[in-house]
Structure formats: structure tokens, C-alpha cells
């Protein structure tokens, strides 16, 4: 979706409403597509006191696999975007400021921008739950469903301490 914001840069105070569904079936995260359904984007681009703002809410269903136990995960995810749109930066020092989005030709490529924001939002490690126990490194049993029958190896450096505990 392309949005012409040049009128807002020129002082027009009429806000531009955003309400659409972005298709990200092509997005690859690790080795799978995490967003099979559409991404709902709702918000507006508006001018206030000579400054142009983008204010949007993004929501989608995330489909993936736990990085510890490999269980399938389906999570509702959402985040908000608040950015300042500018036609150009006043100096190079502003280039590192993440709240500015430079729109040199007055056309905001919203699909590309939202896709990049989603990629930045997605966590690097996906867990089914914060205390996920993962898989047994010997037999591969999911330890969230119960203990496995594998014999626990004792660190040879701790064997003397274990013998002391057994004596008591």
C-alpha cells in the first residue's frame, strides 16, 4: 500500500486513515512462514504543529515452533508504531534516530515499512512458555510432559560431593 503524504508535508491537516490487511505469505522466519493469515494494520498519518506523524496498531497470528521442545505454537501478537515522517533529515546526526522515517518523494511504502517493523518485533527465540523444559538430550522426550527414564549423568567434578550427600 502506497500513501501519498506530500500534502501533509505541505501543511494539509486532513489525516489519512489506515485500515487494511497486509498479506505476508512470502515472509520467511528461520525455515518457515510465521504469518499464514493476514496482518491487520489500523491507524493514521496526520499533521500536528507542522510535524507529520504515523500512528498505527499492528496485529497478527504467529505460527511457529518452540526453540526448546519443538511444539507447535500459535500466538496472537500485536504492537504499536509511532514514528515521525520527514521529507529529509536536517543533518547526519539525525540518521541514527529511529523515530524518524525519511520519505524523500512524499510516498510512504507502507507494506515494506510494516514488514520491516514486524521482522524487528519478532523475538529471536520463540518459546511455548517461559519455563519450557525442552527435550531430553539422550532420548528426545519432551520434558514438559513428564520425566524421561534416562539415567542422569553426574558431572565427574561433582562426584565427590554426591558421595558425601549419599553418606548422610
> pLDDT tens across 101-144, in order?
888 888 899 999 999 999 889 888 889 999 999 999 888 899 99
pLDDT of residue 95: 59
User: Are 105 and 148 part of one and the same domain?
Assistant: no
User: Are 101 and 139 part of one and the same domain?
Assistant: no
Contact yes or no for 53/40 (Cβ under 8 A): no
CA angle 116, 122, 40 (to 5 degrees): 65
Name the average pLDDT for the chain: 86
Question: How many structural domains is the chain composed of?
Answer: 2
User: Are 87 and 29 part of one and the same domain?
Assistant: yes
User: Are 43 and 124 part of one and the same domain?
Assistant: yes
User: Are 113 and 137 part of one and the same domain?
Assistant: no
User: Are 106 and 142 part of one and the same domain?
Assistant: no
Residue 19's pLDDT band (cuts 50, 70, 90): very high
- Domain of 141, in residue numbers: 133-168
Three-state secondary structure call for residue 152: coil
Amino acid at each position: 500500500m502506497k500513501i501519498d503524504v506530500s500534502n501533509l508535508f505541505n501543511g494539509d491537516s486532513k489525516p489519512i486513515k489506515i485500515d487494511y490487511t497486509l498479506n505476508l505469505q512470502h515472509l520467511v522466519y528461520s525455515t518457515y512462514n510465521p504469518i499464514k493469515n493476514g496482518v491487520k494494520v489500523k491507524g493514521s498519518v496526520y499533521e500536528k504543529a507542522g510535524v507529520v506523524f504515523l500512528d498505527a496498531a499492528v496485529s497478527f497470528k504467529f505460527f511457529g515452533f518452540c526453540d526448546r521442545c519443538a511444539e507447535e505454537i500459535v500466538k496472537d501478537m500485536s504492537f504499536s508504531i509511532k514514528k515521525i515522517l520527514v521529507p529529509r533529515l536536517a543533518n547526519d546526526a539525525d540518521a541514527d534516530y529511529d523515530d524518524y522515517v525519511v520519505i524523500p518523494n512524499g510516498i510512504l511504502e507502507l507494506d515494506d515499512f510494516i514488514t520491516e517493523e514486524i521482522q524487528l518485533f519478532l523475538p529471536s527465540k520463540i518459546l511455548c512458555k517461559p519455563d519450557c523444559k525442552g527435550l531430553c538430550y539422550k532420548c528426545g522426550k519432551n520434558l514438559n510432559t513428564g520425566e524421561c527414564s534416562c539415567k542422569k549423568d553426574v558431572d565427574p567434578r561433582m562426584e565427590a560431593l554426591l558421595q558425601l550427600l549419599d553418606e548422610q
